[in-house]
Amino acid sequence: MTATDWTPSTAPAQTSEGAQEMKPRSALGPRELMREVGSVLRLSEAEVAQLGDLPEDPDEDQTMIINMGPQHPSTHGVLRLMLELQGETVLRCKPIIGYLHTGMEKTGEQLTFMQGGTNVTRMDYLSPMANELAFSMATEQLLGIDGDIPERAVWMRMLLAELNRMSSHLLFMATNGMDLGAVSMMIYGWREREEVLRFFQKVTGLRMNHNFIRPGGLAADLPPGWRDDVLRLLDLIPERLEEYDILMTGQPIWRERLQGVGVITPDEAITLGACGPILRSTGVAWDLRRDMPYLRYDEMDFDVIVGSYGDAFDRYAIRLNEIRESMKIVRQILDRMPPGDYRIQDKKVTPPPRARIDESMEALIHHFKIFTEGFKVPEGEVYVGIESPRGEIGCYIVSDGSPTPYRMHMRAPSFANIQCLPHMMRGGLVADAVAVISSVDPVLGDVDR
Amino acid sequence: MGVIDDVLADGVGGLSHNAITGRLEDLIKWSRSRSSWPASFGLACCAIEMMATGAAHYDVSRFGMEVFRASPRQADIMIVAGRVSQKMAPVLRQVYDQMMEPKWVISMGVCASSGGMFNNYAIVQGVDQVVPVDVYAPGCPPTPETLIHAIETLHQKIEDGEIMRRRDETGAGAGLHVEEIAATSTPVLLGTK
Amino acid sequence: MSDDTTLATEDESSDAAVAYGCPLGDSHGQTVLHPNREQYVDVVKTLADDGYTMVVDLCGVDFLEYLNRPLPAGVDPERFEVVVNLLDITNRRRVRLRVQVPEDDAELPSLFDVHPGTEAYERETYDMFGVTFTDHPDMTRILMPEDWVGHPLRKDFEVGQIPVQFKGANS
């Protein structure tokens, strides 16, 4: 019995509830899956601009369409929302994006695979390592070397990815606090984030947009003394997280503002393509690190944090505890980091060490070829998805055998997460709209690319 | 010195031991430079570094710039932090026009200064095509030290009156370029914890 | 990634692998289906019944400069391809669909009725490539300004680079 043969009459169940029997997924349309399809305001910008001023004698029940953004302190970047309000209640909403569209996918077709990391890392600028990791893993699969990456390189990638998750979630704590009025949380979150950025600056040379994870491994080895720096981080942050629990988690005002706000059901989240903390807050325990493991996550011992109500408070609590889980993983990596190479020793892909260029003609030629023309990647197409702090970030590359990708497309988690906004905001107040945007934690660089 | 019986008898010179005189313009320029409020125009990655500059460690509040005003009517400096796309350029110009004189613009980062690494159809190649820029801060993103250096350069020029002079000359922004200061990795030691 | 053995059946007549009624390819261990335009929505519905309930990604590719790409037998290459990545959460597997879209008739049925989450992705594909999706609730540009002319990710749309002159060069 193949999937196409399934009909209710051939189902093994003997009971018959008639019209109440579960319909197959293909028979469910948007109206059944979403609580309210009418949450999305489908008017073009030109139409709204023509709506003009309110009439002389406004009706009590008249709804108002107002504009929020793109320049706004609480929209997490250049997100524009058109809200249809009745009084203070949000009825429908339309997110308008494109204010940060950078043409990165077009630029990606002009840059070689070695340079691609610089482009891709600026998409989700709060977790640059995740972007680079997705791109590098896709390139390595096309090259066929994804099974040959040295152990140390794999573990280093995991370490940097988890530290990036920590810094991204700390920034979420900071901005979430500020958006809800707890302005001192902004200062505390950034204070902790500075620690992680210091470590990144020591390892990669830059505080943000590192371009460190490259196809074949990483750009450089960990500097001596890195273990002490990471241990210092791990000693410092847990007690600060306890402070956040005192400041926010148990506090009545915080709970009032976040509990029951921005509720989304599991069906809605899945059908809208939302992953990450949004999906986990609804109760679906989906985390790519555990369910479709990459790097060495299958050897790590960590929990996947899951909420139950699908509201903004669950998303906040999930992210707070994910910082703790990431610290657990980092501690395990510290103990188990193997020695070895930080990049694959494949001459066609990895540039030679600088000292060898003076000695060997071959090394000089390889260096020249890799950095000017770029290494050629065999024909093919591949999609790789990994777990970024916002959900699944994926890289789809089509290669035609030349040194530059033919098509480079990043599946941005925030692009799908923004589709959830109208459904979360419906029926709430305008102040809750700010809380909802903040709990979704979009990064507009990712959305617009 | 000593007690003066009659101030009027001594003239204004009698006040010399308990008053300072100076020019009003100097006072105005001093206060403008010490209390210039930025309009938040954070767009992309540079906005994150701008927020880091406002945070505890780099603390731009000691230069009087902590209050990032959301409303351009209340702001003096517009720090364009990030890449400006085709769709965003009219919005940028509108926000700039809504600011009250005197107003200055700092172009933060290479994307705002020249288009940066994105030399393509989607990004305006330099925000000075849209608004007059006074200080360009390079970096991708500029470290908070570079941004503070740019801000302090601007403040210095405001205090000297240099910037208004250059404005009158060219009719456009002052166009000062600052050097990038590399990040340091000394640990952040706060308190005893 | 997917080694579901019930997926592929050998088609006796053409000696090619077929699954869900359309040619089956394999790309670095990833299952790729090649439905044609007519069977596209039905295949997606069947896959949804089979557990692939989440559309992870929907994007377009313009093969103007790479028309002779490798494709399984029975699939005629066209200029545009729309690539859909689906995810099955319960069984932890992925599948990819590649639909050929001709240049002169760049239309495809929309997946909005089956997966409402494709709304933004289809708008982006329209904006960047010019492929329209019929029965889409809001077929307008999403990333470029509404009055932009042209579709940026097409191969015949220029990157828009301006020549950069270095100050130190004496020219």
In a domain, B35, yes or no: yes
Distances (CA, A) of C110 to B28, B122, C38, C87, C101: 62, 27, 12, 18, 13
Residue C159 has a pLDDT of 80
Nearest to A209 among B45, B91, B183 (CB): B45
List all residues 6 or more positions away from B44 whose beta carbon is below 8 Å from its beta carbon.
Answer: A77, A100, A122, A125, A444, A445, B81, B82, B83, B111
* Type of residue found at C130: G
CA atoms within 13 A on the CB side of B23: 7
C-alpha–C-alpha distance, residues A378 and C76, integer Å: 22
In a domain, C67, yes or no: yes
| A426 DSSP assignment | T
Interface check for B52 against chain A (CB to CB < 8 A): the answer is yes
Q: What is the pLDDT along chain B (193 residues), one digit of tens a residue?
A: 455 555 555 555 555 566 677 788 888 888 888 888 888 788 888 999 998 888 888 888 888 887 888 888 988 899 999 999 988 899 899 999 998 888 889 999 999 988 888 888 888 888 888 898 888 999 888 988 888 888 888 888 888 877 777 677 766 677 778 877 776 655 544 443 3
Q: Which two tokens stand for residue A425?
A: 């905001």
Nearest to C57 among A3, A284, A411 (CB): A411
Segment A391-404 mean pLDDT: 91
In a domain, B92, yes or no: yes
3-state secondary structure of B93: helix
- Least confident range from A417-431, B33-47, B153-167, C128-142: namely B153-167
The CATH number for B119's domain is 3.40.50.12280
Higher pLDDT, C92 or A354: C92
Structural domain count, chain C: 1
In a domain, C82, yes or no: yes
In a domain, C153, yes or no: no
Task: Look at the block and give the residue holding tokens 């209710």.
Answer: A8
- Tell me if A99 and B140 make a contact (CB, 8 A cut-off): no
CA-wise closest residue to A406 among C60, B190, B52: C60
Residue A160 has a pLDDT of 94
Q: Which two tokens stand for residue C145?
A: 């300004």
Q: Which two tokens stand for residue A409?
A: 């497309």
Counting as contact any 3 or more CB pairs under 8 A, the partners of A are B, C
Q: Which two tokens stand for residue A205?
A: 């040379």
3-state secondary structure of A390: coil
C-alpha–C-alpha distance, residues C153 and A102, integer Å: 12
- Tell me if C162 and B125 make a contact (CB, 8 A cut-off): yes
Q: pLDDT per residue over C78-114, tens digit each?
A: 889 999 999 998 888 999 999 999 988 888 999 888 8
Instruction: Count Cβ atoms within 10 A of the Cβ of residue C137 and give its class: 0-12 exposed, 13-18 middle, 19 or more buried.
Output: middle
Would you list the DSSP string of A143-171?
Answer: HT-TT-S-HHHHHHHHHHHHHHHHHHHHH
| Class of domain A104-348+361-448 as given by CATH | mainly alpha
Q: pLDDT per residue over A130-174, tens digit each?
A: 999 999 999 999 988 888 889 999 999 999 999 999 999 999 999
Q: pLDDT per residue over A203-254, tens digit each?
A: 998 898 988 999 988 988 899 989 998 999 899 899 889 988 888 888 898 9
Q: pLDDT per residue over A82-132, tens digit each?
A: 888 888 888 888 888 889 998 899 999 989 998 888 999 999 999 999 999
Instruction: Count Cβ atoms within 10 A of the Cβ of residue A277 and give its class: 0-12 exposed, 13-18 middle, 19 or more buried.
Output: buried
Domain boundaries along the sequence of chain A: 104-348+361-448
Structural domain count, chain B: 1
Interface check for C113 against chain A (CB to CB < 8 A): the answer is yes
Q: Which residues are bridge partners to A397 per DSSP?
A: A382, A408
Q: Give CB contacts under 8 A, 24+ apart, made by A296-302.
A: A296/A154, A296/A155, A296/A158, A297/A158, A300/A158, A300/A329, A300/A332, A300/A333, A301/A328, A301/A332, A302/A326, A302/A328, A302/A329
| pLDDT at C4 exceeding the cut of 50 | no
Segment A41-55 mean pLDDT: 63
**Helix intervals (H) in chain B:** 7-10, 24-34, 45-54, 89-98, 110-114, 144-160, 162-170
Give me the total of CB pairs closer than 8 Å, taking one residue from chain A and one from chain C. 141
CA-wise closest residue to A192 among A160, A223, A169: A169
The share of chain A scoring above pLDDT 90, in percent, equals 32
Query: What is the extent of the structural domain holding B159?
Result: 22-177
The answer to whether the beta carbons of residues C59 and C127 sit under 8 Å apart is no
Q: What are the b/e assignments for A324-338, b being 16+ CB within 10 Å?
A: bbbbbbbebbeeebe
Residue A126 has a pLDDT of 92
- Tell me if A119 and B117 make a contact (CB, 8 A cut-off): yes
**Backbone φ and ψ of C159, nearest 5°:** -65, -30
Query: What pTM was computed for the model?
Result: 0.87
Q: What percentage of chain A's residues is helix, strand, coil (to nearest 5)?
A: 50, 10, 40
Higher pLDDT, C131 or A6: C131
Angle at B43 between CA A319 and CA A218, to 5 degrees: 60
List all residues 6 or more positions away from B191 whose beta carbon is below 8 Å from its beta carbon.
Answer: none
In a domain, C121, yes or no: yes
**How far C171 CA lies from chain A's nearest CA (Å)?**
24
Would you list the DSSP string of A259-317?
Answer: TTSS---HHHHHHHT--THHHHHTT----HHHHS--TTGGGS--PPP--SS-SHHHHHH
- Tell me if C152 and B122 make a contact (CB, 8 A cut-off): yes
In a domain, B187, yes or no: no
Give the H or E element holding residue B122.
none
The CATH number for C66's domain is 3.30.460.80
The answer to whether the beta carbons of residues A131 and A391 sit under 8 Å apart is no
Instruction: Count Cβ atoms within 10 A of the Cβ of residue C108 and give its class: 0-12 exposed, 13-18 middle, 19 or more buried.
Output: buried
The answer to whether the beta carbons of residues C80 and C61 sit under 8 Å apart is yes
Interface check for B1 against chain A (CB to CB < 8 A): the answer is no
Residue C14 has a pLDDT of 43
| pLDDT at C10 exceeding the cut of 50 | no
Name the strands in the sheet holding A80-86, side by side, starting at the edge strand that comes first in the sequence. A64-68, A80-86, A89-96
Segment A61-78 mean pLDDT: 78
| pLDDT at A12 exceeding the cut of 60 | no
